[in-house]
Amino acid sequence: MRIAVCVKQVVTREWQVRVDESKTWVRDADASWELNEPDAYALEESLRLKEKHGGEVVVVSAGPARATQVLREALARGADRAIHVQGDHLASADAFATADALASALKEEQVDLVLTGLQSDDQGFAQVGVVLAEKLGAPHSTIIMDVQVHGSELRVKRELEGGWFQWIAMPLPAVLTIQSGINQLRYATLKGIMAAKKKELKVVAAAPASAKRQRITQIYVPSKAKLTKLIQGSPAEAGKELVRALKEDARVI
Whether cis (ω within 30° of 0) applies to the bond prior to 222 is no
113 falls within a domain: yes
Nearest alpha-carbon partner for 174 in 14, 50, 1: 1
Residue 172 has pLDDT above 90, yes or no: yes
213 falls within a domain: no
6: phi then psi, degrees, rounded to nearest 5: -90, 125
The Cα-based distances of 10 to 34, 38, 92 in angstroms read: 6, 11, 10
Quick one: 199 and 80 in the same domain? yes
Quick one: 76 and 199 in the same domain? yes
168 falls within a domain: yes
Q: Classify the C-alpha dihedral 164-154-137-44 as positive or negative.
A: positive
Quick one: 130 and 245 in the same domain? no
| 186-214 exposure pattern, b = at least 16 Cβ within 10 A, e = fewer | eebeeebeeebeebebeebebeeeeeeee
153 falls within a domain: yes
Q: Are strands 81-86 and 174-178 parallel, antiparallel or unpaired?
A: unpaired
Q: Are strands 56-63 and 2-6 parallel, antiparallel or unpaired?
A: parallel
Quick one: 50 and 101 in the same domain? yes
Quick one: 145 and 43 in the same domain? yes
217 falls within a domain: no
Confidence of residue 228 (pLDDT cuts 50, 70, 90): confident
Quick one: 200 and 251 in the same domain? no
Quick one: 117 and 228 in the same domain? no
Length of the chain: 253
Quick one: 12 and 49 in the same domain? yes
**pLDDT tens digits, one per residue of 28-76:** 777 888 999 999 999 999 999 999 999 999 999 999 999 999 999 999 9
Q: Residue 31: which domain range?
A: 2-205
211 falls within a domain: no
Quick one: 245 and 200 in the same domain? no
20 falls within a domain: yes
Q: How far apart are CA 5 and CA 99, in angstroms?
A: 13
* Strands across the sheet containing 201-205: 165-171, 153-159, 140-150, 174-178, 113-117, 2-6, 56-63, 81-86, 201-205
**pLDDT tens digits, one per residue of 96-106:** 999 999 999 99
Quick one: 147 and 83 in the same domain? yes
Quick one: 136 and 247 in the same domain? no
Nearest alpha-carbon partner for 116 in 91, 101, 133, 100: 133
**pLDDT tens digits, one per residue of 145-170:** 999 999 899 999 999 988 899 999 99
Query: How many domains does one find in the chain?
Result: 2
219 falls within a domain: no
Helix (H) or strand (E) holding 148: strand 140-150
